[in-house]
């Protein structure tokens, strides 16, 4: 009988991330969380929706909720411009009833490769922000790293009413 040797853990030398510009801040998102970046954003509005819920995107024959990440903190509705885009996000727990959601972005997101030795520094004194794991600085740019678990749990419970009304 032959035995299979256990696989040795592989060291990660760099992580591919997206720098996502928002109206007044920016996100740093791992590429593995992003299903697709959509440049042309057409949104179907949702009546009586909270300020963070911009409406529905049609993506690959699915209706995907589009959210404004910044509206969780500043309570103002974002407007769409010609340079608006949306990041369609994979969820961590699709069993909650939310397979995908999209985050509204301003301008164009771009790839950042973060190596193990990059000077990614946690920024203190930014104050707590809803659904933000931490604030970091890289090359003089401050970015927020989303707390996907918190965000997706909140979205799944908050959007239940709207999803049920579609059925």
Question: pLDDT tens digits for 80-89?
Answer: 656 789 999 9
Segment holding 2, helix H or strand E: none
d(CA 38, CA 64): 12
What average pLDDT does this structure show over 114-126? 81
* Greater pLDDT, 75 or 121: 121
Laid out side by side, the sheet with 62-67 consists of: 34-38, 85-90, 100-105, 62-67, 53-59, 43-44
Burial label for 111, CB within 10 Å (0-12, 13-18, 19+), is exposed
What average pLDDT does this structure show over 96-107? 89
Residue 98 has pLDDT above 50, yes or no: yes
d(CA 77, CA 97): 25
Please report which confidence band the pLDDT of residue 166 belongs to, taking 50, 70 and 90 as the band edges. Answer: very low
- Who's near 165: CB < 8 A, 6+ residues apart? none
Q: Which domains does the chain have, with CATH numbers?
A: 14-116+148-160 (2.40.50.180)
pTM of the full structure: 0.83
Q: What is the CA radius of gyration of the chain?
A: 18
- Who's near 46: CB < 8 A, 6+ residues apart? 53, 55, 56, 162
Q: Which residues pair with 142 in a beta bridge?
A: 137
Query: What pLDDT, on a 0 to 100 scale, did the predictor assign at position 131?
Result: 95
Query: What pLDDT, on a 0 to 100 scale, did the predictor assign at position 40?
Result: 75
Question: Does residue 21 contact residue 105 with C-beta atoms inside 8 Å?
Answer: yes
């Amino acid at each position: 009988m032959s035995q299979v040797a256990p696989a040795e853990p592989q060291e990660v030398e760099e992580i591919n991330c997206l720098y996502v510009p928002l109206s007044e801040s920016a996100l740093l998102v791992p590429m593995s969380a992003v299903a697709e970046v959509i440049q042309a954003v057409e949104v179907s509005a949702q009546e009586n929706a909270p300020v963070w819920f911009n409406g529905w995107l049609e993506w690959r024959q699915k209706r995907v909720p589009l959210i404004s990440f910044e509206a969780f903190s500043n309570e103002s509705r974002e407007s769409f411009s010609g340079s608006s885009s949306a990041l369609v996000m994979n969820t961590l727990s699709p069993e909650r009833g939310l397979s995908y959601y999209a985050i509204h972005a301003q301008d164009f997101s771009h790839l950042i490769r973060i190596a193990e030795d990059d000077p990614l520094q946690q920024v203190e004194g930014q104050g707590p922000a809803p659904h933000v794991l931490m604030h970091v600085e890289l090359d003089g740019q401050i970015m927020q790293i989303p707390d996907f678990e918190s965000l997706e749990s909140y979205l799944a419970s908050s959007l239940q009413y709207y999803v049920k009304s579609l059925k």
